[in-house]
Amino acid sequence: MHVRVQDPSGRSLDVNVSNNNDGSYTATFNGSQAGAYALAVRFGAEPIPGPTAFTLWPGPTDPANCLFLGLNSNYEEIKRLEAKATALWNEHRQTRSEVGNAPLPVPVWMRPDPAPGDVEHAELDLDLKYADGLVGGVVGRRFRFRILARDALHNPCDATAQFRVTLNPTGTAVGTPEPVLAEVAYEGNGYYGVCYTVRGAGAYRLDVALRQGAGLVSMQTKELAFSAAAVDAQSCVVVHHTHPGDQPECRSGEKIKVLLSLRDRYSNPVGKMDGQLAGSFYTPWDKCHNEGVPFEQPMHQGAPGCVDPTNAWEPDEHEPDLVVAPAPSHGDGVYQVTIKAYTVGPHVAHVTCASEIVYTFSFTVVPAEPMLPNCKVVATSEDVRLCIECDRRTAIFFSRQCGQAFCDSCWKVRHSNCHRASHPRSMIGVDDRGRELGEELACGILMRDAYDNNILHLGSDEPVEARIEFHEYLPEPKARKDVKAKKKGEPVAIEIRSLDGLLTAVEVLLSDTVSQLKRRVFEMDGLPTNVQKLVLDGTQDMEDSKSLKDYQVMKGSIVDVELADVGEDQQQRVPCVDTGRGVWDVRFPVQGYGQYCLLLQFGSHPLTRLHRFTIEAPAGPPKGKASQTKMLDLTLELEDLKGRWAALSPAEDA
């Protein structure tokens, strides 16, 4: 009796045949491989009819022989090559269609429905959103690994095994108080696919167990870490805000502090984003630049009551500040956003992370409390007109040298060079012409804060007090005709710093007296000599009777002009009335001819000198016959020009 057995791999096994001495035989062999076996039985040379095949099934799953397979670098490499091959295939297919050839067959990895039992092709069909489930990674992704179930003889098991895969937070996970139960599905040939998704960042413990009977046998335990996903703008939370509400108001230069918790779409805090966070603004100046409109609306020329003192001064452009810094004391992923804006108007602040806006805050900047040194004196008379340079803002300064009227901005531009820096400016409607004694002058004080914003409403009950300080011109002593001044030495260039802090270069002789230098200051600044106090290089007071040589004045020396002690009898309180438009109206009579100074005090703030101006006597009639004849000719010529202008038609006038 001969028995032949072949295992599933085609290998012949050793078979032991024994005679039972009762007409039957027993054949024994060791079949360790599960699968289909081939069987052949013959007696001598004659085959015995009967079954020719049989199947051995795998035994129970042995936890010690099971394997765990993650998506390692080989899987990623396969996906990369697959993507490259797909691109080449598409290119080749397009080339064949252009020349009219038959299309190429679709590769296996591009088929939408892979064969159910083909595990390898099904694995290749997974896209890159899957991550290795045995390593960990970023929350929200689909994690995957496989279990190869085998019995005690290392045979792949069938679908009868029951696995339980859980992820238990270890105490530092966020947003997932309950364990994560993974999905386990049999894929064939002993492979079980495991998929799970973790939404709470932190540390987890992966537990894989096999159900045997009524209990579970632990097979694998692994510590995994999951980090937060990308910052999601909809999930970010404001922990604290110093200016809550919709479009809140804040004062110019005031700090706005926001505690912002950066979170992903699963509400996990996102930390360590220092280098990727940035801030940006949309300010009133941006609107001016983008839309091409002026910062302040121009007044209507020629309209009655067109004087607009607040239009005379444009605020300087102050760039807003936005700083984002970590705030670890308030928790992981919390950042402090500090915002400071200075220009009055609506602002929009953005916090961006990796070029994506994650937080937007809209607010309105209002003026801060008045800063007296920044307050401006404006004219409110009918003599005020538009600036000759920009033809938009109100003109407030008049230059006798130029014969033109400018607004503040254009004055700074046109008089910033060395040739015009010494041009004295006159306030239109205040000190631009001679005045009669007792004539009432009117001017306005435009309240401004520390960042040059016009304050239209003070919002405070603190009193506003204005004073006028007057220094009368004293007649200068006439020089004796029999004494000729002798100029000795070469001129020396020095600088004189006025009360306004402006430096002016002048040339003097060392033989000049301090009294003569005060006369030069009077000619430049209009400050009477009797109220001047000159200080050399900020340390040494200068006496009138001494010469500059006595004080060792040299090239580059700086002489500071200060005001001598002024008594209260030289300061007069004048009415100061709020007009309701941010301008306080001040009126005072002409006491005499000389230099005036307008002083302002607000609440507990110290008395501040705002503006110095000179009032001169009106010019009298010309003296001498020739001068009177010339004045008459000019008067007749002016009347003739007025008559011609009145005779022009409207079209010619335009």
- pLDDT tens digits for 221-243? 999 999 888 888 888 999 999 99
- CATH 3.10.20.90: does it fit domain 440-476+489-645? yes
Q: Is the dihedral of CA 617, 623, 628, 630 positive or negative?
A: negative
For domain 65-227, give the fold: Immunoglobulin-like (2.60.40)
Q: Would you list the domain boundaries of the chain?
A: 2-56, 65-227, 237-298+315-366, 440-476+489-645
pLDDT band at 120 (very low <50, low <70, confident <90, very high): very low
**Fold topology of 2-56:** Immunoglobulin-like (2.60.40)
H or E segment and range at residue 585: strand 583-589
Per-residue CA distances from 415 to 169, 399, 430, 651 (Å) = 73, 10, 21, 37
Res 82 pLDDT > 80: no
pLDDT at 591 over 80: yes
pLDDT greater than 90 at residue 626? no
Highest mean pLDDT among 30-39, 89-98, 169-178: 30-39
DSSP 519-555: HHHHHHH---GGGEEEEETTTEE--TTSBTGGGT--T
Largest CA distance in the chain: 172
What is the reported pLDDT for 518? 85
Instruction: Assess contact for 343 and 252: CB atoms under 8 A.
Output: yes
Q: What is the pLDDT of residues 168-182, one digit of tens each?
A: 998 765 655 678 999
Query: Given CA atoms 480, 484, 487, 493 in this order, what sign does their dihedral have?
Result: positive
Between strands 215-227 and 136-138, the pairing is parallel
pLDDT digits (tens, 9 = 90+) for 526-567: 777 877 888 888 888 888 888 888 888 888 888 988 877 666
Against a cut of 0.85, is the pTM above it?
Answer: no
Residue 622 has a pLDDT of: 64
Q: Using a pLDDT cut of 90, give the percent of the chain over it.
A: 12
379 in Cβ contact with 443 (< 8 Å): yes
In CATH terms, the superfamily for domain 237-298+315-366 is: Immunoglobulins (2.60.40.10)
Same fold across 65-227 and 440-476+489-645:
no
Structure tokens at 600: 């302002």
Per the listing, tokens 């603004």 go with 281
Q: Following DSSP, what letter does each residue of 581-609 receive, concatenated?
A: SSEEEEEEE--SSEEEEEEEEETTSPPEE
Mean pLDDT, range 74-85, rounded to an integer: 59
CA 255/CA 280 separation, integer angstroms: 16
Work out the mean pLDDT of the chain and round it to a whole number.
Answer: 79
> Would you state the structure tokens that stand for residue 237, as one six-digit string?
């939370």
Mean pLDDT calculated for residue range 76-95: 64
